[in-house]
Amino acid sequence: MTWVLLLLLLSPAIINLSTSQSDARWAAKKRRLRDKHDELKPLSKSFTDSLSELGNLKLERLPQDYSGSALTLIESLSSLVIMGNNTEFQSAVVWLSENLTFNVDARVNLFECNIRVLGGLVSAHLLATDSTDRLGKGVYKNQLLTLAQDLGKRFLPAFNTPTGLPYAWVNLKYGVMENETTETSTSGCGSLILEMGALSRLTGDPKYESAALRALRKLWSMRSSLNLLGTTLDVSTGEWIEHSSGIGAGVDSFYEYLFKAHILFGKEEFWRMFHSAYIAVQKYFRHGPWYHEADMRTGKATYWQLTSLQAFWPGLQVLVGDIAAANSSHREFVYVWKKYGVLPERYLLDHQMLHPTEKYYPLRPELAESTFYLYQATKDPWYIEVGESIVNSLNLYTKVDGGFASIRDVTTMQLEDHQHSFFLAETCKYLFLLFDDSFLVEKNYIFTTEGHPLPVLSSWHDRLPETYIQTNRTLLKTGNQARRTSSMSKQVCPPTTFNSWECSGQEVESACHVPDARGDHRCLTDDECGVDSSNCRRRSCSMAGYCGLWLFI
């Protein structure tokens, strides 16, 4: 299999250090790290990832040397480009163009098929048609976009509900089946806007984005008075089934897509949703560097646990500008990783122990993703060391002859015969980009929740977003000229980070700042106090009746 050269991500034959890296010491560190993994070889055995989550999605005619799945190939397309392997990218595009069909009697999960398959096809199409001429002349005639549009049309019956919230499952050939379950998750119906919105922008047909946007707006209208959402709901009645929620499974990508949709499409509506939701998360879920779960109706804590999916949150906070908060949480995830050698699926914070039945590690990418974002934001070499630790653990505990296996129990490191496609689409990709970011130089991408890059294009913006946020700005004077700026435009939080930048000495309001309820800072309860603008910490009400950082004195 030529395209599974993805697993050579750290081979010296394909690593080129970014020219943006100015520190010679850490450039040498990167070279030593990549050379250390020269023993990695392409997989010669079949992938263990089945298509049970997506149904009978298949290639009609398999090439003789191909023993993997269509899903794995689609998931790997953008990784081949990031590696600079244009020859294999072209081969994969040609095979998919000739052999892939969605006209199959297959019940698929809408969310998973959207982020993995539709996202993979749309991203690969954009990479195939950009200005780099990756494919030979005459090879590509929008075949991937044609496939993506065909798939998008097969999604639309799922949105035919009284609420506009889509069913979690749809049959690619026959639409929604009789007696289909009406239960879905917040992520399942609130994380479709990037892929379906991109499809509409590329095809000129607004129906895909309209369906996803209608669902997102309906979901947002179901939030509580605290601006919190639950985890599961009924698409027919619009009623919540599970009121406990957090930033992990079932909700995670909802927050991610609100902010990334604002970046990709320039709609202030997405920013307003995200800002309200983000402040609610910081107020009701955050406890120091950790995030527990809480009841959406009352804000009261329900489950004190860390889940591996929560590790995406520091990466999102980097995009928002909350660097200090991102770093704080990220270090706690790294602590748990080092404690067990990998990141367990669930860790009980109140007991400081593993969950008794969820001790597994399925090669998830979220910690590698946040490590990549934090290194990009800070250039702190400590994050390179974290990446090295992750790579060492993967090679030590999960590498087998046929690829990389999931871990069934992190206390025994017992393996199970399964390799999810997100391992290639995300885990390997973010580790590669951590050590070699040349793909990103002078380019502007967002990554979907499945790690597929989408370019930020001004032509996709209904209205170009301003370089500042109206609800979160101050004035920064440079010489005799005043210009609007904020932590959102400068991508930093807290504002004291500016002290070493060109605006040294000037403080800028933080993206996480929530003003106290009263201008004189008087209060009766903690609820009347906001979030401090200088360090993103929650303020509390003192016995004397004034808001301040009393818990940190």
pLDDT (tens digit, 9 = 90+) per residue, 211-246?
A: 999 999 999 999 999 999 999 999 999 999 999 999
293: annotated active-site residue: no
pLDDT, tens only, 78-106: 999 999 899 999 999 999 999 999 999 99
Q: Active site residue: 88, 256, 293, 345, which one?
A: 345
**535 lies in a domain?**
yes
The predicted pLDDT at position 530 comes to: 85
* 526 has catalytic annotation: no
- pLDDT tier for residue 515 given thresholds of 50, 70 and 90: confident
Looking at the domain assignment, is residue 540 inside a domain?
yes
Q: Contact 363/404 with Cβ under 8 angstroms?
A: yes
Question: CA angle, 119 as apex, 80 and 127 as ends, to 5°?
Answer: 45
> Mean pLDDT throughout 126-147?
90
pLDDT value, residue 41: 27
Higher pLDDT, 107 or 402: 107
- Is this structure's pTM higher than 0.85? no
Q: Is the pLDDT of residue 10 over 90?
A: no
- Does 357 carry a binding-site annotation? no
SS3 147: helix
The strand pair at 232-234 and 240-242 is best described as antiparallel
Does residue 366 carry a catalytic annotation?
yes
pLDDT value of position 210? 97
- Percent of the chain at pLDDT exceeding 90: 64
Total number of domains constituting the chain = 1
Q: Would residue 259 count as lying in a domain?
A: no
Residue 548 lies in a domain: yes
The candidate with the shortest Cα–Cα distance to 281, out of 273, 291, 266, is 291
Catalytic residue among 49, 75, 88, 366: 366
pLDDT value of position 221: 97
534 domain-assigned: yes
Judged by average pLDDT, the poorest of 27-31, 222-226, 240-244, 375-379 is 27-31
Annotated catalytic residue, options 252, 388, 516, 532: 252
| 48/152 Cα distance (integer angstroms) | 27
Q: How confident is the model at residue 540 (pLDDT cuts 50, 70, 90)?
A: confident
Q: Considering 75, 112, 436, 509, which one is annotated as catalytic? A: 112
- In this predicted structure, what is the pLDDT of residue 75? 92
pLDDT digits (tens, 9 = 90+) for 432-480: 999 999 999 989 999 999 999 999 998 998 654 444 444 444 433 444 4
252 lies in some domain: no
Distance separating alpha carbons of residues 238 and 225, to the nearest angstrom? 16
Do 473 and 467 form a contact (C-beta atoms < 8 A)? no
Whether 46 maps to a domain, the answer reads no
Query: Is residue 253 predicted with pLDDT exceeding 80?
Result: yes
Instruction: Tell me the residue range of the domain where 544 lies.
Output: 523-552
pLDDT at 524 over 80: yes
| Top-ranked range on mean pLDDT: pick from 46-55, 216-225, 537-546 | 216-225
Q: Is 516 a catalytic residue?
A: no
537: in domain: yes
Token representation of residue 485:
């700026």
